[in-house]
Amino acid sequence: MCIMQITQIQIHNFKSIKDAQIDCKNYNILVGKNNAGKSNILDAVLFYFDEKKLSPEAFFRTPKKTEDELWIEVEYQAEDDSEISDLPQKYNLGDRRFRVRRIAQITDFKGDYYGYILDVNGQKKLDDTTSFFGAKNVSKTKLGGIIYIPALKDIQDETKTQGSATFAKMLKEIIGDSISKKKEFIKLSEAIRLLSNSLKGTDCGTRENRNYNCFAEVEATLKEELAAWSCEVSIDLEPLDPDKFSQQSAELKLIESDGIAMPPSSKGHGLQRALLMSLIKLWAENERKKKIKGDPKKTFRSSVQILVFEEPEIFLHPPQQKMLFKDLKTLISDSNIQILVSSHSPVFLDEANNDLGSIHTVIKSDNTKIFNVSNGFLAKIQTPDIQRKFRFQWWLNADRNAAFFSDIVLLVEGNTEKAILQWLISKNYSNYYPLAITVFDCGGKGFIPYFMELFGDLNLKHIVIHDDDENRSADHIKMNAAIQSATNTSTFQIVQVPNNIEAYLNIPRVDSFKKVGEAMWTLEINGIDPQKESHLINPIINFSKTLS
């Protein structure tokens, strides 16, 4: 766990988001179809950390109204009391938590920060009468550090030594703190001061005689030109600023085995991303060391560090994506950093099955909504046997990740049902084109209710197709009832197949390892009864009509 962690982010009236909430883990992945609003969520987080400015378009709007206020709210939790010992007591909400809201008005894009306090009844409430820490401009160190890597980012942008690039931040954080103490820098600063005095010179007195080889003569002429404004002009060389000096003077190049120094932009995308990850690791390591050293002024400093990474899979083939994911997980464990990723990559979802709570689906109808896996479901699968089997079935299913980008998911018992339904869908696809459909093998009837509940939490629409097994045993009766009980608002329909699908479609019973081949051979040779085909396919057709 991070030394300090963001536990929740709430977003209100921001772009396409009316109200949304992320229940944060160490690793968080936003998944959803294109144009669902994932980038807007990242922008909201960036605005909170003062990494992105607002415009009028940032305020949520409908055809009839544009909201005039938006806010982003973040809750923090420290691992131990020492982390919040310098936090004013009134902001401590108990359990080492504090909560901050940034509010912006459409008449004032800047946005102010306000903290939560406890009222006389011990209930938390927003203290909107006084800015957080009593300051209009809250130091970023009180909120935490952030690195943002947008999609389609050119590595040249991230290795620039100025602005908000990752390398520029590194230089400012690492070199900027130490350069001012270097005797060479002190001498250079004094030399700049003396040079400025020398360049200042003395005005010769008359405009006709000025050669403009010193600042004083330029100042005098400008003063005369601006006399009607009662305004004077002063020109000096700017004193050396340690942050700016390091950013303006440093240059990053890569040297490979040929010994030639080249800019990162001349290298392959794999090496460029590796460099970027190394910079991020270095940034996180430096932030952690600064926190360990402590603040001599004894002012509160949040140790939260968050990496916001948009579509990290770009430019990387699957094995490189896996390596990048491993690096991100290492960042979490070694560098006390939280990660917020938006992705369309199955690889990044692949690994998230170890912590289903890290998956957040983003779905847009009239506005963008975020869906989190409930604590109740996570608790339900924590028993060792259920957790192991559930995770194993999830991992075995090669198409599991397609469910997160589908219009509808068909939950079926096993691979025979999956093969049959995929064959039927292909055969009838003209009836519901361009519906995105995933057939999801649950690994047995007993796991269907778990996937129904998970998909319900994440608002993934699904149809369940399962054998009724003629309720021929107490176990079958119990499992059939459990499926019915697991019905939720994301369940479109439950379809029961009389007896089992092989008997229903007149497919001979064979050894389990031959079942799929036998089923497909029989259907190709004998076809399928139209009524039975309709029984299995009509729910999909009916669902497609709800989207038109």
Distance (Å, whole) CA 29 – CA 343: 7
Tokens for 531, please give them. Answer: 């009524």
Alpha-carbon torsion angle 465, 392, 346, 326, nearest 10: 170
Strand order in the sheet with 124-126: 17-23, 4-14, 69-78, 97-105, 108-118, 124-126
The mean pLDDT of 2-13, rounded to a whole number, is 89
Report the phi/psi class of residue 44: left, alpha or beta, with left for phi > 0 and alpha for psi in -120 to 50: alpha
Looking at residue 76, its pLDDT comes to 94
Task: Classify residue 52 as exposed, middle or buried by CB count within 10 Å of its CB (0-12, 13-18, 19+).
Answer: middle
Identical fold between 4-159+271-358 and 383-547: yes
Looking at residue 175, its pLDDT comes to 65
Looking at residue 233, its pLDDT comes to 87
Provide the H-helix boundaries in 180-268.
183-200, 215-225, 242-249
Q: What share of the chain is helix, strand, coil (3-state, %, to 5)?
A: 45, 20, 35
pLDDT digits (tens, 9 = 90+) for 40-65: 999 999 999 998 999 999 999 999 99
In the numeric block, the tokens 């973040």 are attached to 74
In the numeric block, the tokens 């021929």 are attached to 472
Alpha-carbon torsion angle 193, 197, 198, 199, nearest 10: 100
Domain ranges of the chain: 4-159+271-358, 179-248, 383-547
85 pLDDT higher than 80: yes
Pairing state between β 108-118 and 124-126: antiparallel
CATH of domain 383-547: 3.40.50
C-alpha 200: how far from its chain's center?
52
Phi and psi dihedrals of 7, rounded to 5?
-100, -20
Q: Which fold has domain 4-159+271-358?
A: Rossmann fold (3.40.50)
Looking at residue 172, its pLDDT comes to 66
221 pLDDT higher than 60: yes
512 vs 307, residue with greater confidence: 307
* Torsional sign, CA 287, 327, 358, 50: positive
| pLDDT bracket for residue 351 (50, 70, 90) | low
CB contact at 8 A, 492 and 539: yes
Looking at residue 128, its pLDDT comes to 86
pLDDT digits (tens, 9 = 90+) for 311-349: 988 877 788 788 788 878 877 876 668 999 999 887 788
Q: What is the identity of the amino acid at 205?
A: G
| pLDDT bracket for residue 1 (50, 70, 90) | very low
Q: Does residue 69 sit in helix, strand or coil?
A: strand
- With CA atoms as reference, report the closest residue to 50 among 102, 99, 10, 87: 102
Cis peptide upstream of residue 88 (ω within 30 degrees of 0): no
* Average pLDDT score, the chain: 84
Distance (Å, whole) CA 516 – CA 132: 63
- With CA atoms as reference, report the closest residue to 462 among 433, 441, 493, 432: 493
CB contact at 8 A, 478 and 444: no
CB contact at 8 A, 93 and 34: no
Looking at residue 210, its pLDDT comes to 87
Distance (Å, whole) CA 541 – CA 291: 58
Phi and psi dihedrals of 496, rounded to 5?
-95, 135
pLDDT digits (tens, 9 = 90+) for 180-193: 788 888 898 899 88
Distance (Å, whole) CA 351 – CA 329: 10
The mean pLDDT of 284-310, rounded to a whole number, is 67
**DSSP character string of 408-432:** EEEEESSHHHHHHHHHHHHHTGGGT
Q: Does residue 438 sit in helix, strand or coil?
A: strand
The CB-side HSE value for 455 (13 A sphere, CA atoms) comes to 34
Distance (Å, whole) CA 15 – CA 56: 9
pLDDT digits (tens, 9 = 90+) for 365-404: 889 999 999 988 888 887 777 766 666 566 555 567 888 8
Alpha-carbon torsion angle 401, 405, 408, 411, nearest 10: 10
pLDDT digits (tens, 9 = 90+) for 408-424: 999 999 989 999 999 99
The mean pLDDT of 198-213, rounded to a whole number, is 86
pLDDT digits (tens, 9 = 90+) for 60-81: 999 999 999 999 999 999 888 8
Residues across the chain: 548
